[in-house]
Amino acid sequence: MANDLLIYGMKGSPFVRKVQVLLAEKGVPYDFEMASPFPAPDWFAEISPAKRIPVLRDRSIGTEGAAGTLPDSSVICAYLERKHPEPAMYPRDHFDHARALWFEEYADSELAMRIGLGLFRPMVMARMFGKEPDVETARKTVREQLPPLFDYLETSIAGRSCFVGDALGIADIAIATQFVNFQHAGARIDVARWPALAAWVDRMLARKSFADCIAAERKFIPQSDAEL
């Protein structure tokens, strides 16, 4: 019997993984259907007007067309928190809740843009599409674009186990999913410069929710051996 929840997307997308990890942490089963935005098929535009992944379908609401579907990982995660509130992935304190949303946005925009366009696309997607990796672009990203972001994250996580509050939440999931693609591209955090961030990333990616995704992705994502 099919599960109520269905995710449309591609494994390897940090935004698809974000939703998968949140569902795994909540222990909620779901089905997965491959949907590539490169290019997006005509039917996909009906459920994702921006032609981006992931899209969630809640079959308890609708099974065809746009009925029961939600695009955008942040919208999906917020919906899943309301539908499956335990364990909570968003802080109940008002200020902490807003702070968590800030880190989610920072990860989805600042981190995603630089890691996605500056590392994952030139190093991983290039190989997936039969092209030579652009090592120089990746090295420049690691040297010039990512350090200010990592400085901010290091300051924010130093002396803490989680980015907001004392329990894993959406802020941690949103940030950590970007570091999976960082590692897929062959990059590693400078432990001497960012020790707290490096240790936190190691802990997060070792969690079963992340480790299961990473193991599945490594079966088809080409891993880089370039020195970045």
Question: Residue 4 pLDDT more than 90?
Answer: yes
Residue 40's pLDDT is what? 80
In a domain, 172, yes or no: yes
If asked whether residues 107 and 187 sit together in one domain, one would say yes
Q: Strand 5-9 vs strand 55-58: parallel, antiparallel, or unpaired?
A: antiparallel
| 227 part of a folded domain | no
pLDDT for res 42: 84
- pLDDT score at 39: 83
pLDDT at 184: 96
Instruction: Mention every residue, 6+ apart, whose C-beta is less than 8 A from residue 199.
Output: none
Residues 133 and 178 reside in one and the same domain: yes
Whether residue 29 sits in one domain with residue 105: no
171 and 63 in a single domain? The answer is: no
Residue type, 165: G
* CA angle in degrees (0–180, nearest 5) for 10-15-135: 80
Rg of the Cα trace of the chain? 17
> Are 115 and 199 found together in one domain?
yes
| Conformational region of residue 81, where left means phi above 0, alpha means psi within -120 to 50, and beta covers everything else | alpha
Name residue 26's amino acid: K
| DSSP assignment string, 128-141 | HTT----HHHHHHI
Asked if the structure places residue 89 within a domain, the reply is no
Q: What is the mean pLDDT of the chain?
A: 96
- Look up tokens 């999931």; give the residue: 173
Q: Are residues 126 and 146 in the same domain?
A: yes
Same domain, 45 and 79: yes
CATH code, domain carrying 76: 3.40.30.10
37 inside domain: yes
Q: Which of 169, 173, 162, 212 is nearest to 18 (CA)?
A: 173
Range of the domain at 43: 5-83
User: What gap in Å lies between CA 32 and CA 22, rounded to an integer?
Assistant: 14
- pLDDT at residue 14 in the model: 98
What digits encode the pLDDT tens for the residues 80-110?
A: 999 999 999 999 999 999 999 999 999 999 9
DSSP H or E stretch at residue 7: strand 5-9
The pLDDT-based confidence of 222 (bands split at 50, 70, 90) is: confident
What is the per-residue pLDDT across 6-63, written as a single tens digit (0 to 9) for each? Answer: 999 999 999 999 999 999 999 999 999 999 888 888 889 899 999 999 999 999 999 9
- Note whether residue 202 is domain-resident: yes
Tens digits of per-residue pLDDT, 134-165? 999 999 999 999 999 999 999 999 999 999 99
Judge whether residue 224 has pLDDT over 80: no
Q: What is the pTM of this model?
A: 0.96
Q: How far apart are the first and last CA of the chain?
A: 46
The CATH number given to whatever domain includes residue 121 is 1.20.1050.10
**Which of 83, 115, 138 is a domain's end point?**
83
Task: Write down the pLDDT at residue 66.
Answer: 95
Q: Any long-range contacts for 135-138 (C-beta under 8 Å, 24+ apart)?
A: 135/226, 135/228, 138/185, 138/186, 138/187, 138/226, 138/228
Do 69 and 77 form a contact (C-beta atoms < 8 A)?
no
Residue 226 pLDDT greater than 80, yes or no: no
Over 80: is that where the pLDDT of 1 sits?
A: no
- Number of domains making up the chain: 2
